[in-house]
Amino acid sequence: MVSFSMDSPVLKDDGATTPAVLVVDDDPISLENLSELLSLKGFKVIMAQSGEQAWSLFSEKAPNLVITDMLMPGLDGIGLLKLIRESDDMIPVVIITGFGEMESAINALRLGAFDFLLKPINTEILVSTVQTGLEHYRLKLLEREYTHRLEVQVEKRTKELAKANEFLRGILESSRGVSIVVTDLARKVVFWNSGAQNIFGYDEDEMIGQSIVSLYPSSANEDSIQNTLREALESKLGSAQKIIKQLSKDKKEITLSLAISPMLDRKGRMQGVVGLGQDVTEQYRLHQQLLESYIRIRKIQGASIFALAKLAEARDGETGAHLGRIREYCEVLCRSLSKRATYAPLLTEEFIEDLVQCSVLHDIGKMVISDEILFKPGKYGLEEMEIMRQHTLLGGKALFEAAKETGESQSYLTVGAEVAYYHHEHWDGSGYPFGLSALEIPLSARIVALCDVYDALRSKRRYKEGFSHEDSLQLIVQDRGKHFDPEIVDAFLVCEDEFRRVRDIMSNNDVSPQFQST
Query: Tell me: the pLDDT tens digits for 318-352?
Result: 445 788 899 899 999 999 999 999 999 999 998 99
Q: Are 166 and 174 in contact (CB under 8 A)?
A: no
What percentage of the chain carries pLDDT values higher than 90?
A: 32
The SS3 of residue 147 is helix
Q: Are 134 and 64 in contact (CB under 8 A)?
A: yes
Is the predicted pLDDT of residue 172 greater than 60, yes or no?
no
**Torsion sign, CA atoms 30, 32, 35, 41:** negative
The SS3 of residue 134 is helix
Is the predicted pLDDT of residue 488 greater than 80, yes or no?
yes
**Predicted local confidence at residue 292, as pLDDT:** 60
* Fold of domain 2-174: Rossmann fold (3.40.50)
Query: Tell me: the pLDDT tens digits for 404-459?
Result: 876 666 677 888 889 999 999 999 999 999 999 999 999 999 999 999 999 989 98
Q: Quick check: pTM over 0.85? A: no
Distance separating alpha carbons of residues 451 and 453, to the nearest angstrom: 6
Distance separating alpha carbons of residues 395 and 314, to the nearest angstrom: 16
Q: Which residues of 25-64 are buried (b: 16+ CB within 10 A; e: fewer)?
A: bbeeebbeebbebbeebebbbbbbebbeebbebbeeeebb
What residues does each domain of the chain span? 2-174, 179-279, 286-505
Q: What is the CATH number of domain 179-279?
A: 3.30.450.20
| Neighbour count for residue 391 (Cβ, 10 Å) | 25
Distance separating alpha carbons of residues 142 and 155, to the nearest angstrom: 15
Is the predicted pLDDT of residue 480 greater than 70, yes or no?
yes
Query: Tell me: the pLDDT tens digits for 65-100?
Result: 999 998 999 999 999 999 999 988 889 999 998 867
2-174 matches 179-279 in fold: no
Work out the angle between the directed axes of helices 486-505 and 321-337 (0-180°, nearest 10): 140
Q: Beta 65-69 vs 20-24: how paired, if at all?
A: parallel
Nearest CA to 449 out of 414, 477, 410, 422 is that of 422
Q: What is the CATH number of domain 286-505?
A: 1.10.3210.10
